[in-house]
């Protein structure tokens, strides 16, 4: 079924020419408080225009405009009266499509490059310095702008590094304004949006809440809705939006598998409920998970067991919610899912039917439970989801929670998982989190798994006696997207405090070690 959300009126389309930059451009546009959406460059221009965009941005791309099969753009795009901003590949396409010259002068530019702005009062460059640093990534270069364009900037190797035609409202830059290495990139982008295209910066997460609440009400009507909560930010924010829209028609299900960190189950069961007033069904499945995991040490096997048990417990709970509603003559027709915009873009922008992803481990519902999906976060990036969560008054521990794997502490105990080991790891993890928070480092690092090497022991000395305890591993990492990561250079005094407290306060732990492996070759989680 189609997404519940109509596009807001002031939309900027980002045409994706296949580089990794389109998502970043879309985010930068939204940081400028203008709504943006990504469309593939294969979309016919008529279809783009049918979306009634207020402006169009052509992204960079990996290829030369002269490479065989390089994506092109229909000239009609530039003749529709919609303001257009071409960046890098998009800039070159604009140049050749409108009659300028792009050639391969053999002088490639990659990386940070000085840009000389010739027309500092121009629409794009007003108020920016005559010399600025920009991020380049190209082989071909524009040597002559199309007729009607003023050349506004150049570099040592590129005579036409930026141009604009205010009359037709067409703008372009050879470089990447969206990357942070371009010193005035955001300012230039905002000049295009506000001055070039005349768009007002009005898009905020407050609008998102209002729009989504109205859209959910239209989609759901008076039917009942179910939502699985994982303790993570996406499902919590999605549930809170649906709760705001349809109140008690929503029932949330929280499976407590006993593998969450200290205080997290309580955050869902008490704080989330207190903040939202949501109707919550808690399934205490701790014993069931421990029994299923007994004697298991292989990481993949542990993951599969946790995933399988989770689905079974969630299915059972969902059937009970459906049956209870049925007794009152009501049907549960909708399932909430916390799908985010990057998932939508990466899966080709398709709209969902009841094909539940394994995301958050709410996966693989049985075929006789057919739900339509409610996906109120489909337009949002992660940082926007957090802002919506704050807007909805969710506890900051939930809104700012760092990524945490669905299988939880089960894959942070290296060896067999059992109750005492979980208690031990929960204590050590709570100390590490407390100290990182106290040092103000939560938002500097991506996440910090704390790992128990349950099958390893080493000799130590404490008080007057010999100890033979377990090591705890700290795995603080910095990352943009978890695909790659580097170990975080935490201050020594913070590491020292964590180490002292864990070895003093957690029985049976006599050593704390730091994981200094990047990803690759190491993954973030140990299992
Ligand atoms: P790795 O260990 O593959 O982790 O470098 C990358 C990111 O994904 C998280 N992670 C998971 N998240 N279910 C999840 O929802 C899982 O099974 C899972 N395994 C790893 C991990 O915490 C890191 O942020």
List, for residues 36-56, the tens digit of each pLDDT value: 999 999 999 999 999 999 999
Across residues 467-477, what is the average pLDDT? 98
Report whether pLDDT(128) > 90. yes
Residue 362's pLDDT is 40
**355 pLDDT tier (thresholds 50, 70, 90):** very low
Q: Is 234 annotated as a binding residue?
A: yes
Maximum average pLDDT range among 272-286, 324-338, 367-381: 272-286
**348 pLDDT tier (thresholds 50, 70, 90):** low
Q: How far is the CA of 490 from the centre of ligand 1 (A)?
A: 22
Residue 523 Cβ inside 6 Å of ligand 1? The answer reads yes
Residue 464's pLDDT is 87
High-pLDDT (> 90) share of the chain, %: 80
The DSSP line for 471-517 is EEEE--EE-SSSSSBEE----HHHHHHHHHHHHHHSTTEEEEEE---
Q: Residue 502: which residues within 8 A CB-CB, separation 6 or more?
A: 428, 431, 432, 472, 509, 512
Report whether pLDDT(160) > 50. yes
Residue 232 Cβ inside 6 Å of ligand 1? The answer reads no
Q: How far is the CA of 408 from the centre of ligand 1 (A)?
A: 9
Report whether pLDDT(1) > 50. no
Residue 363's pLDDT is 40
Alpha helices in 347-418 (DSSP H): 382-391, 396-399
DSSP-assigned beta bridge partners for residue 253: 228, 281
Provide the mean pLDDT of the chain: 91
Domains in the chain (CATH in brackets) are 11-196 (3.40.50.880), 205-399 (3.40.50.620), 412-514 (3.30.300.10)
Tell me the CA distances in angstroms from 500 to 4, 107, 432, 459, 509, one per residue in order: 52, 56, 11, 17, 11
Residue 20's pLDDT is 74
- Per residue in 282-318, pLDDT (tens digit) is 999 999 999 999 999 999 999 999 999 998 999 899 9
Determine which residue's CA is closest to atom 20 belonging to ligand 1. 405
The region of weakest confidence among 82-86, 207-211, 256-260, 356-360 is 356-360
Residue 306 Cβ inside 6 Å of ligand 1? The answer reads no
Q: How far is the CA of 357 from the centre of ligand 1 (A)?
A: 15
Atom index in ligand 1 nearest the CA of residue 523 equals 5
Q: How far is the CA of 405 from the centre of ligand 1 (A)?
A: 5
High-pLDDT (> 70) share of the chain, %: 94
Across residues 312-339, what is the average pLDDT? 92
Report whether pLDDT(366) > 80. no
Across residues 83-90, what is the average pLDDT? 97
The region of weakest confidence among 216-230, 275-289, 344-358, 458-472 is 344-358
Ligand 1, pocket-test mutation among 231, 306, 339, 525, most atoms within 8 A of CB: 525
Q: Is 235 annotated as a binding residue?
A: yes
Pick 75 or 109 by higher pLDDT: 75
Collapse the DSSP code of 37 into the 3-class scheme (helix H, G, I; strand E, B; otherwise coil) and give the result.
Answer: strand
Cα–Cα dist 120/312, whole Å = 64
Cα–Cα dist 476/485, whole Å = 10
Contact 353, 372 (CB under 8 A): yes
Report whether pLDDT(64) > 80. yes
- Per residue in 95-121, pLDDT (tens digit) is 999 999 999 877 788 899 999 999 989
Nearest to 209 by CA among 198, 201, 199, 217: 217
Q: Is 12 annotated as a binding residue?
A: no
Q: What share of the chain is helix, strand, coil (3-state, %, to 5)?
A: 35, 20, 40
Q: How far is the CA of 82 from the centre of ligand 1 (A)?
A: 42
Residue 405 Cβ inside 6 Å of ligand 1? The answer reads yes
Q: Is 232 annotated as a binding residue?
A: yes
- Per residue in 199-252, pLDDT (tens digit) is 999 999 888 899 999 999 999 999 999 999 998 999 999 999 999 999 999 999
Chain CA centroid to CA 341, Å = 8
Q: At what angle do helices 233-246 and 205-220 cross, to 10 degrees?
A: 60
Q: At what angle do helices 419-438 and 492-505 cross, to 10 degrees?
A: 150
Residue 403 Cβ inside 6 Å of ligand 1? The answer reads yes
Nearest to 210 by CA among 338, 376, 374, 33: 376
Report whether pLDDT(335) > 80. yes
Give helix then strand counts, H and E, for the chain: 15, 23
The four Cα atoms 167, 169, 170, 175 give a dihedral, to 10 degrees, of 120
Residue 3's pLDDT is 45
Report whether pLDDT(360) > 70. no
Q: pTM for this structure?
A: 0.80
Catalytic site positions = 88, 176, 178
Determine which residue's CA is closest to atom 11 belonging to ligand 1. 405
């Amino acid at each position: 079924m189609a997404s519940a959300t109509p596009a807001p009126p002031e939309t900027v389309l980002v045409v994706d020419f296949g580089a990794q930059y389109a998502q970043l451009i879309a985010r930068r546009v939204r940081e400028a408080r203008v709504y943006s959406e990504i469309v593939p460059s294969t979309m016919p221009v008529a279809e783009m225009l049918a979306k009634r965009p207020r402006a169009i941005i052509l992204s960079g791309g990996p290829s030369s405009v002269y490479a065989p099969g390089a994506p092109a753009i229909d000239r009609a795009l530039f003749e529709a009266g919609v303001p257009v901003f071409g960046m890098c590949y998009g800039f070159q396409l604009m140049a050749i499509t409108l009659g300028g010259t792009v050639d391969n002068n053999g002088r490639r530019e990659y990386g940070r490059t000085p840009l000389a702005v010739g027309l500092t009062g121009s629409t794009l460059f007003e108020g920016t310095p005559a010399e600025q640093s920009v991020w380049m990534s190209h082989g071909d270069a524009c040597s002559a702008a199309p007729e009607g364009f003023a050349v506004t900037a150049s570099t040592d190797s590129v005579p036409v590094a930026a141009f604009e035609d205010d009359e037709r409202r067409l703008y372009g830059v050879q470089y990447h304004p969206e990357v942070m290495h371009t010193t005035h990139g955001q300012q230039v982008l905002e000049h295009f949006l506000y001055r070039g295209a005349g768009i007002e910066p009005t898009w905020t997460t407050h609008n998102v809440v209002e729009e989504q609440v109205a859209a959910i009400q239209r989609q759901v009507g008076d039917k009942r809705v179910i939502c699985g909560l994982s303790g993570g930010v996406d499902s919590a924010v999605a549930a809170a939006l649906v709760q705001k829209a349809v109140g008690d028609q929503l029932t949330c299900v929280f499976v407590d598998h006993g593998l969450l960190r200290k205080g997290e189950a309580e955050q869902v069961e008490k704080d989330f409920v207190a903040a939202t007033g949501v109707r919550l069904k808690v399934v205490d499945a701790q014993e069931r998970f421990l029994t299923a995991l007994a004697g298991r040490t292989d990481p993949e096997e542990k993951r599969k067991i946790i995933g399988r048990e989770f689905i079974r417990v969630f299915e059972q709970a969902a059937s009970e919610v459906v049956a209870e509603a049925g007794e009152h003559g009501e049907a549960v027709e909708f399932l909430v899912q916390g799908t985010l915009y990057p998932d939508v873009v990466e899966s080709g922008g398709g709209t969902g039917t009841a094909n539940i992803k394994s995301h958050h481990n709410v996966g693989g519902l049985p075929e006789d439970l057919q739900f339509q999906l409610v996906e109120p976060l489909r337009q949002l990036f992660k940082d926007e989801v957090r802002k919506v969560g704050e807007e909805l008054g969710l506890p900051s521990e939930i809104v700012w929670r760092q990524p945490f794997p669905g299988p939880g502490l089960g894959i942070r105990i290296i060896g067999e998982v059992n109750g005492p080991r979980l208690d031990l790891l929960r204590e050590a993890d709570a100390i590490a989190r407390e100290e990182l928070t106290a040092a103000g480092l939560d938002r500097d690092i991506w996440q910090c798994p704390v790992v128990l090497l349950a099958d390893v022991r080493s000799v130590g000395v404490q008080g007057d006696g010999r100890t033979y305890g377990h090591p705890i591993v700290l795995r603080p990492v910095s990352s943009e997207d978890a695909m790659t990561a580097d170990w975080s250079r935490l201050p020594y005094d913070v590491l020292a405090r964590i180490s002292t407290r864990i070895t003093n306060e957690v029985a049976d732990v006599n050593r704390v070690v730091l994981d200094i492996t990047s990803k690759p070759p190491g993954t973030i989680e140990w299992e």
